[in-house]
Structure 1
Amino acid sequence: MTDYGLDMSVHQQPLGFSYGNDVIGPMPEIRTLDQIRGSLRDPDCDGPEQVYAIAMDVARLQDREELQKRMLLFGVVTYAAGQLGDEPIRSQGHVHRISQHSGWSPPELYEIWQGKAIIYMQEFVEDEPGRCFAVLAGPGEKVLVPPGWGHATISASPDEALTFGAWCDREYGFEYEAVRAHKGLAWYPLVQNNNIIWQHNSHYLPGRLQVVTPRKYTEFGITDEPVYQQFINDPARFQFISKPEKAAASWLNFHP
């Protein structure tokens, strides 16, 4: 589909993806409720057995060599509709593992395809979490998570599925230990009267949550086009994802 920047389809029954003739990708990994209970406010909650499907390294055949050379990877994720107890459908909070080739915990660029999302992020996964943001985004909007920040992707539309794509480092890896030690991230999203409200996680020091809408990341050269199409147009555009040092000055005092 042209809206995605590459030829693929998203399915809800069952959760997953199918690819066009010039696109390749893996069978999706399914994250079950039992697998993510340790990151939830209520680990004993009820919800969809299959919470989300994730496929990493989706690409057009002709782009594979260029992506490998640039250490870039494109991932796609789709969530089930519904709730996890009184929480919305959401990913596990995590920090990106430091990549050996760059020595950085890589950033990540999200693009929402279907539904509404909240990209929650905090500077540190420590008792003092630093600045905390919840970025509310809809179809076509982009959200950039800077290097080293703890983050999670949350559905802001419980009655419909959420689907998004993301540019990642090819050596991607997730660190969950610090988040789980704090029983989650610093703020829990809760569903109340079909709206998202926020509850502070008492395992962190008190702080403030800033709820914002996406901005234009002009300093990174990001445009309004689908992010995969932006790579096709300019394969060097997202080099700051796999080589964050190229944008070191832009990460200082970063505001999403």
Structure 2
Amino acid sequence: MGNELNFFGHVVSPDIRMLYDMNGVLYDTEWFQTAKNTELYYMYRDMYRNEKEHEAIKSQHLRYDITIIPPQMLGKEYVKTAGHYHPNVPGASTSYSELYQVLEGEADYLFQKMNGETIEDVVCIKAIVEDIVVVPPGYGHVTINSSNKTLKMANWVCNDFSSMYQPIKEHAGAAYYLLKNGYVPNSKYTKIPAIRYLKPTDASILGLAKGEDMYNLINDLNKLDFLKNPHLYDTMYSKLLVK
């Protein structure tokens, strides 16, 4: 055992993403062939402060997670998550979304919207401590730690689905890889637009003060309804994708 995280006295052991779990989504495949299998990042699922709050979170079909990504290079590429998409809400043509907040360090959140083999849109949001980022429906996403500091981030998500990793894996990763000299496109996709750089989400749309810990949404979980019913919040999501 090791790497347990104490969250208000609730101690959780992580799911550990190993280097070999990333086979098929890395830029530097030559380096990967001889690299030692090492721990990359740590995922702490279903966090809560006390049992009353845990029951409230579960009753709303939500989950609060924390992920910790230490800095390192994967050959020529900065360390990143494996990347995934979300399925559609049952009975709707809109996929589930997700909400992130940086607790420590810095993050590059890379989103991509795909239509067949073509990428229609690529968005990058650079976030620092206290920043909030909403992943809109229809976008696959990867989180990258390109700093020399450990990235610790939290997320709120609906707990009614499993993430889909295959669409990104079958294209050898996301639309872009982040190397020391910047982003380079992934040739496995037919067409890739230029990256659009957007600012983090305005916390006020969630009823939070700037810099407020988003775990405080436990006090009014109805504010997270957009994670469970994204098809009812088209106007809100469209605003997130505009500079």
TM-score normalised by L of structure 1: 0.83
Which residue of the partner structure matches residue 26 of structure 2? 40
Which residue of the partner structure matches residue 165 of structure 1? 154
- State the distance in 2 between where 1:233 and 1:184 align: 38
Which residue of the partner structure matches residue 19 of structure 1? 7
- State the distance in 2 between where 1:41 and 1:83 align: 11
Q: Secondary structure at the match of 1:68?
A: helix
RMSD: 2.4
CA shift, 1:58, in A, is 0.4
Check conservation: 2:78, 2:180, Cα contact below 8 A. yes
Alignment pair present for 1:248 and 2:237:
no
Q: Which runs of 4+ in 1 moved over 3 A?
A: 13-16, 98-104, 217-223
CA shift, 1:30, in A, is 0.4
CA shift, 1:219, in A, is 4.1
Counterpart amino acid of residue 215 in structure 2: Y
Residues 125 and 151 of structure 1: is their aligned pair in 2 closer, same or farther, counting only changes over 3 Å?
farther
Aligned length: 236
Alignment pair present for 1:213 and 2:194:
no
Which residue of the partner structure matches residue 215 of structure 2? 228
Q: Secondary structure at the match of 1:78?
A: strand
Deviations 1:159-218 (A, max 9, x none): 2211100001112412122212211111111124xxxx1001112214211123314154
Alignment pair present for 1:79 and 2:64:
no
Identity of aligned residues (%): 24
Which residue of the partner structure matches residue 105 of structure 1? 95
Residues 18 and 101 of structure 1: is their aligned pair in 2 closer, same or farther, counting only changes over 3 Å?
farther
CA shift, 1:48, in A, is 7.2
Deviations 1:230-254 (A, max 9, x none): x133221111112213313323464
1:195-214 equivalences in 2 (<5 Å): 197-204=182-189, 205-214=191-200
Task: List alignment gaps of at least 5 residues for structure 2.
Answer: none
1:15-164 equivalences in 2 (<5 Å): 15-21=3-9, 23=10, 26-43=12-29, 44-45=31-32, 46=35, 49-60=38-49, 61-100=51-90, 104-124=94-114, 126-157=116-147, 159-164=148-153
Residues 253 and 138 of structure 1: is their aligned pair in 2 closer, same or farther, counting only changes over 3 Å?
closer
- State the distance in 2 between where 1:119 and 1:108 align: 12
